[in-house]
Structure 1
C-alpha cells in the first residue's frame, strides 16, 4: 500500500506526524483529523521507491517544520 500524497477524506496535503519514533504510530490529516497512514507504511514506501521516498519524507518533514 502506497502512502497517500493527499488525504482521502478532504484532499489536504497537510499531515500531522507523531513526535516519537515508533514505526506503528498513526499519521493524521491536519485538516480533518482522518487517519492517512502510519510511519511503517511511510518507511516501506521509502525503501520501495529506491530513494524517491527519501525525498518525499524530507519534503514532508520540512513542511511540518515550516522550512522550505
Structure 2
C-alpha cells in the first residue's frame, strides 16, 4: 500500500519529505517526492515503485499520471 500526500508548493513538498524521512527511517518506511523543476528523467520515476509514501504537487502528479510515468 502507498500513501499519497499532495503539497501546494515545491518547497512544502520538500519540507514534508524531510519530515517523513526523519520519522519513517527508523520504521523502514520509504519516501519520495515528485515535484516540478526537474525533468522526469532526473527524478527517476522508476525509483517510485515500492515507495510507501509519495509526496507531490498536484500539477506534477497530473503530469506524471497523464504520461504514464507513475503507476498508482
TM-score clears 0.5 = no
Give the TM-score, by structure 1 length.
0.28
Judging by fraction of residues, say which structure has more strand.
2
Q: Which has the higher contact order (CA 8 A, sep 6+)?
A: 2
